[in-house]
Amino acid sequence: MRVDLKVPPPQFREPRDVYEAASRLDPFQVLTAEHALLRLELSRALDAAKADPQGAETRRAIDLLVSGLRRHQKREDQVMYPVCERLFGGKDGPASALRRDHAAIAQVFDDLTVDSKRSGPSPKASLEELHQRLEAHFVKEERVLFPLMTAHLEGREAADLARRLRSLDLT
Ligand SMILES: [Fe+2]
Ligand SMILES: [Fe+2]
């Protein structure tokens, strides 16, 4: 099945609305909630990097953001994208484009975690690039992939996916 990842016009939703609207049986509730949290952590890291690029507060904010991003991408790579590949195809399906996004995002956050004295992009420049890449990726998932998968999953499959997303051991 051919899936177009073109994003439709925005429908603004507050993070709190996203949390409250979703039920525990919705497999995408946990991922959408994580997107809201990661957006918040990224904005805190950007504020800290603008105020004091090499400061301890910036380092702490970046470490928190990167560990959350690693967990989120692992959850999707190991649990959600395999279901997406089964539903819509692997090689030319949407999951392959989204997996490539993850690799590009990981490259940017890996740069952020190297020694801050090394030459390279400033933390602020890397965080701004991360912001652009993450927003583009999150809207593809939230406004195209999650609704499409919701429409194609049977109730039992959706509940099973929700359970596996919540219980994946990420240590
Ligand atoms: Fe993702
Ligand atoms: Fe995601």
Q: Picking from 14-23, 71-80, 125-134, 147-156, which range would have the lowest pLDDT averaged per residue?
A: 14-23
CA of 148 to the centre of ligand 2 (A): 14
CA of 55 to the centre of ligand 2 (A): 29
CA of 104 to the centre of ligand 1 (A): 11
Q: pLDDT class for 39, splitting at 50, 70, 90? A: very high
Please tell me the predicted confidence (pLDDT) of residue 146.
Answer: 94
For residues 35 and 33, give the distance between their C-alpha atoms in angstroms, rounded to a whole number.
5
C-alpha distance from residue 23 to each of 31, 50, 114 (Å)? 13, 38, 39
CA of 107 to the centre of ligand 1 (A): 14
pLDDT in tens, 7-31: 777 665 555 554 544 445 688 888 9
Please tell me the predicted confidence (pLDDT) of residue 1.
Answer: 74
Asked whether the predicted pLDDT for residue 151 surpasses 80, the reply is yes
* Mean pLDDT estimate for the chain: 86
Please tell me the predicted confidence (pLDDT) of residue 16.
Answer: 52
pLDDT in tens, 85-142: 999 988 888 999 999 999 999 999 888 887 555 566 688 999 999 999 999 999 999 9
Please tell me the predicted confidence (pLDDT) of residue 13.
Answer: 57
- In the predicted model, what is the mean pLDDT of residues 58-83? 94
CA of 92 to the centre of ligand 2 (A): 19
CA of 34 to the centre of ligand 1 (A): 10
- In the predicted model, what is the mean pLDDT of residues 23-51? 89
Asked whether the predicted pLDDT for residue 2 surpasses 90, the reply is no
Cβ density class 55-65: b for 16+ within 10 Å, e for less:
eeebbebbeeb
Ligand nearest to the CA of 77: 1
> Which of 65, 51, 57, 47 lies closest to 111, judged by CA?
65
Ligand nearest to the CA of 98: 1
